[in-house]
C-alpha cells in the first residue's frame, strides 16, 4: 500500500498535507498522532470513503475502492456498529456471508479469541470483547491488508498484550496491518512507525530508530551541587532539596566526571523513552509549521 503526495481539504482547511507513506506486505505499521492529527481522514481515504484532492493512493496495487470491492482490505473502525441483541456467532455468520472465500466461523472465533463467547449477546460483551469481535469481522474475508483504528480501546492491559501478540502472529503468517493509535506503548508492536502532526509525516522509523533521535539522558545524584553547569556535557539542570538532576547527550562523560569527584551517592541514569521522542518530534514539527 502506498500514498504519494496526498492532500485533503475540508473547505479552506488543509487536513492532510502532501502525505506520503508506504506499507510493505507482511508489515505491521503504526500511524501515531494526537487527536486531530489527521489519522481518521487518512484511513478514510485508504478505504475509499474519501477521495484525496491531490496525490495518489494504491492499495494492493489498485485504487482503494477497487481493493475494497475485491475483498482485499478489512477494516476495524471505532464507529462500526454491531447489532446489540445478536450473539457473537450471529455476527460472525453475517460477516462471513459477505465473502466467497470467507474464513469458517470456528476459525474466525479462534483467531480473535472468541471461542468462549460464541453464544453471548453483543450487549453483554465487555468493551475489550467487543473490540475483539470487531477485529474478527474485519478479518472474515481473509483480507491481505487489515486497517485498525484505535483497536485496543476499552481493553485492559492483559487483553491489549494478548491482542498484539495475535496481530504479530498474523503478520508473521503474511497479513499486512496498518493501525492508528495515540497510545505510545502500542507502537512497540509495529515494524515501522509514522508520526503524524497536523496532516504531515513529522518522522518515521522503527520504534528503536525513533529513540535514536538524539534525546537527552537524565543523570541525577543525591547531593545539591552549587553549579552543575560546570560539569562536562550538562545541558540543563535543577537542584531540589538535596538532589541534583541534569540532562546531557554524553552521559558517559558526565558520569565519569561525577565519579572522579566522588559524587555517586544515589546516582541514577535514565535514558530517553518513546514518550520523550514523540514529544520532541511533535514539538519540533509544530515549531517548523508555525
Cα dihedral: 257, 258, 261, 265 (round 10):
-170
- Name which residue leads in pLDDT, 282 or 155: 155
Calculate the average pLDDT of the chain: 90
Which of the pair, 286 or 175, is modelled with greater confidence? 175
Q: Note the pLDDT of residue 288.
A: 45
What integer is the mean pLDDT of 1-14? 96
Residues in the chain: 290
From residue 91, alpha-carbon distances to 23, 70, 94, 104, 133 in Å are 30, 21, 5, 13, 8
> Among 153-162, 237-246, 275-284, which range has the highest average pLDDT?
237-246
Q: What is the mean pLDDT of residues 5-31?
A: 96
Please state which CATH number belongs to domain 2-211: 3.40.50.300
Spatial CA neighbour of 266 closest among 212, 222, 209, 202: 222
- How many CB atoms lie under 10 A from the CB of residue 32? 29
Angle at 180 between CA 135 and CA 29, to 5 degrees: 90
- Are 61 and 145 in contact by the 8 Å Cβ rule? The answer is no
pLDDT of 159 > 90? The answer is no
Question: Which run of H or of E encompasses 16?
Answer: strand 13-22
Q: Give the domain ranges of the chain.
A: 2-211, 216-271
How confident is the model over 99-146, as pLDDT tens digits?
989 999 999 999 899 999 999 999 999 988 999 999 999 999 999 999
Task: Report how far residue 179's alpha carbon sits from residue 131's, in angstroms, rounded to the nearest whole number.
Answer: 14
Q: What's residue 22's pLDDT?
A: 95
Positive or negative: CA dihedral 41, 61, 138, 164: negative
Of 76, 73, 96, nearest in space to 143 by CA: 73
pLDDT at 286 over 80: no
SS3 assignment, position 266: coil
Whether residue 289 has pLDDT greater than 60: no
Question: Strand order in 217-221's β-sheet?
Answer: 234-240, 243-248, 217-221, 268-270
Task: Identify the pLDDT of residue 274.
Answer: 67
Instruction: Supply the pLDDT for residue 214.
Output: 57
> Are 220 and 268 in contact, with CB atoms under 8 Å apart?
yes
Helix (H) or strand (E) holding 274: helix 274-289
Task: Give the mean pLDDT of 14-29.
Answer: 96
Q: Mean pLDDT over residues 207-230, rounded? A: 84
Higher pLDDT, 77 or 179: 179
pLDDT tens, 59-89?
A: 999 999 999 988 999 999 877 789 999 999 9
Distance CA 69, CA 143 (A): 11
Can you spell out the DSSP letters for 114-157? -GGGTTSBGGGS-HHHHHHHHHHHHTTT--SEEEEESTTTT--H
Highest mean predicted confidence (pLDDT) among 87-91, 173-177, 252-256, 286-290: 87-91
pLDDT tens readout for residues 265-282: 999 987 666 666 676 677
The percent of residues in the chain predicted with pLDDT above 70, rounded, is 92
Amino acid at each position: 500500500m502506498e500514498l504519494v503526495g496526498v492532500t485533503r481539504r475540508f473547505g479552506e482547511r488543509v487536513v492532510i498535507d502532501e502525505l506520503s507513506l508506504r506499507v510493505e506486505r507482511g508489515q505491521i505499521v503504526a500511524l501515531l498522532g494526537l487527536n486531530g492529527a489527521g489519522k481518521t481522514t487518512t484511513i478514510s481515504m485508504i478505504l475509499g470513503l474519501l477521495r484525496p484532492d491531490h496525490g495518489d493512493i494504491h492499495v494492493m496495487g489498485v485504487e482503494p475502492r477497487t481493493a475494497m470491492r475485491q475483498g482485499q482490505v478489512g477494516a476495524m473502525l471505532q464507529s462500526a456498529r454491531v447489532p446489540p441483541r445478536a450473539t457473537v456467532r450471529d455476527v460472525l455468520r453475517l460477516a462471513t456471508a459477505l465473502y466467497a472465500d470467507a474464513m469458517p466461523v470456528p476459525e474466525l472465533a479462534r483467531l480473535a479469541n472468541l471461542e468462549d463467547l460464541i453464544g453471548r449477546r453483543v450487549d453483554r460483551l465487555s468493551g475489550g470483547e467487543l473490540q475483539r469481535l470487531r477485529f474478527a469481522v474485519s478479518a472474515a474475508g481473509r483480507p491481505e491488508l487489515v486497517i485498525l483504528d484505535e483497536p485496543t480501546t476499552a481493553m485492559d492491559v492483559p487483553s491489549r498484550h494478548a491482542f498484539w501478540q495475535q496481530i504479530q502472529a498474523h503478520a508473521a503468517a503474511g497479513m499486512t496491518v496498518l493501525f492508528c493509535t495515540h497510545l505510545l506503548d502500542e507502537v512497540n508492536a509495529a515494524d515501522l512507525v509514522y508520526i503524524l502532526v497536523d496532516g504531515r509525516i513529522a518522522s518515521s522509523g522503527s520504534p528503536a530508530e525513533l529513540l535514536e533521535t538524539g534525546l537527552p539522558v537524565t543523570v541525577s545524584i543525591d547531593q545539591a551541587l552549587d553549579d552543575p553547569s560546570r560539569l562536562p556535557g550538562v545541558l540543563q539542570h535543577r537542584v531540589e532539596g538535596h538532589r541534583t538532576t541534569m540532562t546531557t547527550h554524553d552521559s558517559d562523560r558526565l558520569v565519569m566526571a561525577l565519579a572522579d569527584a566522588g559524587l555517586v551517592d544515589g546516582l541514577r541514569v535514565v535514558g530517553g523513552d518513546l514518550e520523550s521522542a514523540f514529544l520532541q518530534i511533535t514539538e519540533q514539527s509544530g515549531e517548523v509549521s508555525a
